[in-house]
Amino acid sequence: MNCQSGELADLLTEQRNLNSVDIDLKSSAEIVEIFQQEDRKVLAAIEAESTSIATAIDLIAEVLRNDGRLFYIGAGTSGRLGVLDASECPPTFSTEPGQIQGLIAGGNRALRSSVEAAEDRPEAGRQAILDHLVSKADIVVGIAASGRTPYVLGGLQQAHDLGAKTILLCCALPPGRFSQSSEMSFVDHWITPQVGPEVVTGSTRLKAGTATKLVLNMLTTGAMIQTGRVYDNLMVDLQASNHKIKDRALRILMEITGCQRAQAEVALVEADGQTKVAVVCLVRDVDPQTAVALLESQNGFLRAVLEGARP
C-alpha cells in the first residue's frame, strides 16, 4: 500500500494544531503550557482504546504461552520505540533471547541516525519478516503513527501471509479500519489512539510517540503478567545480573518471605540469581531443583506454587 501526497495531507497526524499556531512567538513558559494541554489528550485517546489494548494483550499472551514470539516492526520513532520495549523485556522479565524482538527500517544504524528513506520500501519490511523466520506461531505488531508506512505494512502483509497474527498500532484511521474485505485485511487487530494534530505539524515523535510508548508498556507488561512473570506487583522473574538488580531481587525476597537480608542473599546465590526460584526455596523450604519443578508444574505462576504455603 503506497501513500500519495494527497492522502498524506488528509491524515490526522499531518493536520495543523490550532492550539499551537504562532508557537514561534511564545515564551518558553507558554510553550510548556501548550505541550501540557496537548499531552493531556494522549491519556484520553488511550483510554478510548482500552478494550482494543486488552484484547491485544490476550493475543500476545496466548502466543507467548505456546512458545511463539512477539515482533514489533516500525520505522523512525515508531521503530525505535519498538526496539526499546523489546530490549527491556529480558532484564525485567527474564524473557528468552529472541522471544520479543524489535525490527526497524534501516536496521541497527537507524537506531542512532535517521534513515528516513528506508520506510518507503514495503519489500524491505517483507524481507525483514522472512529473515526472522516468522511463522504462524508468532505475532507481529506493526507500529506506524500514520497507519500508512510502507515498510510496516509490507511486513504485516508478509506476516499475515505466513499465518502469524497481526496487530497495527497507529494514531490515524486508514481506509479499511473496519473492513475485513479492504486492502488492509491483513491486519487482524487494530489499536488506534487518536491523539490529534501535533504541536509541531507532522512531528509524530511528540504525542503519537508518547501514546505509542504508553501502549507498548501495557502490551508487554500485561502479557508478562498474564504469563506468570509478575507476582502481586513485583517483578519476580528478574535475573540478578548487576548490583542494582541484585539489590531489587533481595528486597523482593525479603518482602515476600519476611526473611532477613543475609538469608535472602544465600537463597539468591543458591538459586543462581533466579528470584522466583529463591522465593520458592525459602517459602516451601525446598532445594532449587525442586523449586524449579514446582514452578514448571504451575506454568511459572508463583502464586499458585505459594498458595497454601506458610512463609
pLDDT digits (tens, 9 = 90+) for 132-190: 999 999 999 999 998 989 999 999 999 999 999 999 999 987 655 554 446 788 999 99
The pLDDT tens digits of the residues spanning 35-46 come to: 999 999 999 999
CA distance readout (Å), 216 to 53, 84, 126, 142: 9, 10, 22, 11
Compute the distance between CA of residue 167 and CA of residue 190 in angstroms, rounded to an integer: 6
Q: Could you tell me which CATH number the domain at 5-226 has?
A: 3.40.50.10490
Task: Give the pLDDT score at 3.
Answer: 46
What pLDDT was estimated at residue 17? 78
**Mean predicted confidence (pLDDT) in 19-31:** 90
Would you give the DSSP letter of residue 69? -
Residue 187 per-residue DSSP state:
-
Query: Is the predicted pLDDT of residue 309 greater than 70, yes or no?
Result: no
Please tell me the distance from the alpha carbon of residue 1 to that of residue 230, in angstroms, as a whole number.
40
Q: What confidence score (pLDDT) does residue 12 get? A: 72
Beta-strand (E) ranges in the chain? 70-74, 100-104, 139-143, 165-169, 189-191
Residue 111 confidence (pLDDT): 84
Q: Quickly name the fold that domain 243-306 has.
A: Helicase, Ruva Protein; domain 3 (1.10.8)
Segment 265-288 mean pLDDT? 94
What mean pLDDT do residues 14-34 have?
87
Known catalytic residues? Answer: 88, 119
Q: What is the mean pLDDT of the chain?
A: 90
Report whether pLDDT(11) > 80: no
- For the entire predicted model, the pTM comes to 0.87
Confidence at residue 165, expressed as pLDDT on a 0 to 100 scale: 98
Provide the 8-state DSSP code for 105: T
Q: Residue 182: its pLDDT value, please?
A: 65
**75-125: per-residue pLDDT in tens?**
999 999 999 999 999 988 989 989 999 999 988 888 888 777 778 899 999
Return the pLDDT at 279. Answer: 96
Q: Are 183 and 36 in contact (CB under 8 A)?
A: no
Query: Percent of the chain scored above 90 by pLDDT?
Result: 72
Q: Write out the DSSP string of 5-55.
A: HHHHHTSGGGS--GGGTTGGGS-HHHHHHHHHHHHHHHHHHHHTTHHHHHH
The whole-angstrom separation of Cα 195 and Cα 206 is 10
142 contacts 155 by C-beta, under 8 angstroms: yes
For residue 270, name the pLDDT band (cuts at 50, 70, 90): very high
Mean pLDDT value of segment 226-238: 93
The reported pLDDT for the residue numbered 108 is 85
pLDDT value of position 120: 84
Domains in the chain: boundaries: 5-226, 243-306
pLDDT at 71 over 90: yes
Fold match, 5-226 / 243-306: no
Question: CA triplet 58, 61, 65: central angle to 5 degrees?
Answer: 140
